[in-house]
Structure 1
């Protein structure tokens, strides 16, 4: 069964880039006679807002999309992600990292072999970790690539691949060798936040039996570490289909941080959903 999803974060109103991605996934599901899911990825309590979630439903309905109910909201399932963290920790694949974001960024600037080297800080010495825990210092759970490679075995690690039916940013397609080292020892959870993106998205794709992940090329590199998590947890690997990123008249891709014109603003200006759908044909 062909199952795909659109999984926005409610950190702002949707823009044309979101509409293009949602339509691309929705059309693929319709063409395959499959299922289209909507998932709300709201694990960041500092940026996600209820009014933006409401806006997502309004915008997608106006666009003419339909989806299965009920919609999975990640903030309702933090215990699920905590269980995954516990499993990975029990297998010795995680370590506590007390370094701040600034310290990591400073280390990236000083790393002789590039950012990925600095993003693998490694565990603290036992005595130092015990002291920091006693002080109540906040920490992040990082996935150790060294331990992951040991757990999988060299042959499985070297043979890890994913299927790309679309195109990566440099034209990558077909069977892609997984290169998790490019991301370093990624953060999978923080003490003050139950989960991070890579863990939550791979968990939910497995839980919801997503067969095809259809999303923008800006997330292509994330596939490498997500495929590793799937292998470590014994989760199935979906097929990936990354699509081009929609750009505005100035050549810059649409993004919330650049205050791109929203679908709500386009709607208020008289744009019809039929016209937008025709404009966003792949």
Structure 2
């Protein structure tokens, strides 16, 4: 049975891009199970009123899902257990750098300027040599020592793409050193990060096909690496096109004018939304 999911963050209104992704995930379930997950690990920006709006907008679009809904804020012990495992294997280190520190280090002559990957600015490794003994630190940013992690992997990273240009994918894990760097797996005051939480939650929910936007495609090798390190199944990945505005810029939550709730208030129907995103 195919299992898909839609996993929004309750940090603002759902827009047309969210509608397209949710409707695509439901269609891809194809008689299987379509799940909803609330990704609310950003506790400063996540608001109950936005979560309520997510449920209202999705039900208005005609979507339904099994209850109870998984909420990442209730999953911190699972993330902590994964971090404990990686820490015990010597694959994590605490990082005390802020964004300015990273930018200054990346601009040093030997680094040649900042580079960017799926975790943002590629980290130059300033804190990589810090001591790692003792118990897992509490409430400190933790990074994956990518070079050490790759030593634990036998063979290439493999997954199956079911979106554009479908087919098997394969990449040498060593290429992630230059394209990803040492990603953050636990952020201060969150206890986890998107990259860690998404692979753990997809496995916990039995997701067989992860449907998401093309903007997350470059993160897939990192996610497959984490799945291999933690002994988790690798789902298929379906990366879909992005919904863009008239200037070609992809929609974000700051684009309130394209919020589903505003279209509803103006008298649009779910069929109108489907037409707007090219699904009919």
Q: TM-score range by the shorter chain?
A: 0.7 to 0.9
Q: In the TM superposition, what is the alpha-carbon distance from 1:137 to its structure 2 partner?
A: 11
Quick check: 1:49 aligned with 2:53?
no
1:202 alignment counterpart: 199
Contact 1:78 1:195 (8 Å CA) reproduced:
yes
* Segment of structure 1 superposing worse, 105-114 or 202-211: 105-114
Q: Of the candidates 62, 65, 68, which is equivalent to residue 64 of structure 1?
A: 62
Residue matched to 1:149:
150
Conserved in 2, the CA contact under 8 Å of 1:25 and 1:36? yes
> How many Å apart are 1:125 and its aligned residue?
4.5
Residue 123 of structure 2 corresponds to residue 119 of structure 1? yes
TM-score by length of 1: 0.87
- Structure 2 counterpart of 1:231: 228
Asked if 2 retains the 8 angstrom alpha-carbon contact of 1:11 and 1:52, the reply is yes
**Inter-partner Cα distance in structure 1 for 2:196 and 2:205:** 14
TM-fit CA distance, 1:180:
2.8
Q: Flag structure 1 segments of 5+ consecutive residues without an equivalent.
A: 131-135
The residue correspondences of 1:63-82 to structure 2 (distance < 5 A) are: 63-82=61-80
How do 1:212-251 and structure 2 match up within 5 A? 212-251=209-248
For residues 145 and 124 of structure 1, the distance between their equivalents in structure 2, rounded to whole angstroms, comes to 10
Which is richer in helix? 1
In 1, the alpha carbon distance for the partners of 2:220 and 2:163 equals 13
How far apart, CA to CA, are the structure 1 residues paired with 2:278 and 2:253? 22
For the structure 1 residues 137 and 143, does the alpha-carbon distance in structure 2 shift closer, same or farther, using more than 3 Å as the test? closer
- Does the C-alpha gap of structure 1 residues 27 and 125 become closer, same or farther in structure 2, counting only changes over 3 Å? closer
Query: Equivalent residue of 1:188, what SS?
Result: strand
**1:81, 1:199 within 8 Å by CA — same for their partners in 2?**
yes
| 8 A contact 1:40–1:73 mirrored in 2 | yes
Contact kept in structure 1, 2:94 and 2:130, CA below 8 Å: no
Residues 215-262 of structure 1: CA distance to partner in whole angstroms, max 9, x if unpaired? 110111111111100000010100001000011223222111344521
Q: CA deviation at 1:279?
A: 3.4
Counterpart pick for 1:89 among 79, 87, 90: 87
Tell me the equivalent position of 1:256. 253
1:133 corresponds to which residue? none
Q: CA deviation at 1:101?
A: 1.8
Between the aligned partners of 1:3 and 1:202, the Cα distance in structure 2 is 14
| Structure 1 match to 2:104 | 106
| Partners of 1:215 and 1:125 in 2: CA distance | 35
Q: Does 1:180 align with 2:176?
A: yes
Q: Residue 108 of structure 1: CA displacement?
A: 2.9
Unaligned runs of 5+ in 2: none
Mark the CA change 1:92 to 1:259 in structure 2 (over 3 Å): closer, same or farther: same
1:231 to 1:28, Cα distance in 2 relative to 1, 3 A: same
What per-residue deviation string (whole Å, max 9, x for no partner) do you get for residues 58-115 of structure 1? Answer: 0001111111111000001111111110011011111111111221122233422752
SS at match of 1:228: helix
Work out the CA distance in 2 between the residues paired with 1:126 and 1:232.
22
- The 1-side partners of 2:138 and 2:7 are apart by 33
Deviating more after overlay: 138-147 vs 172-181 = 172-181
Structure 2 distance, partners of 1:198, 1:125, is 23
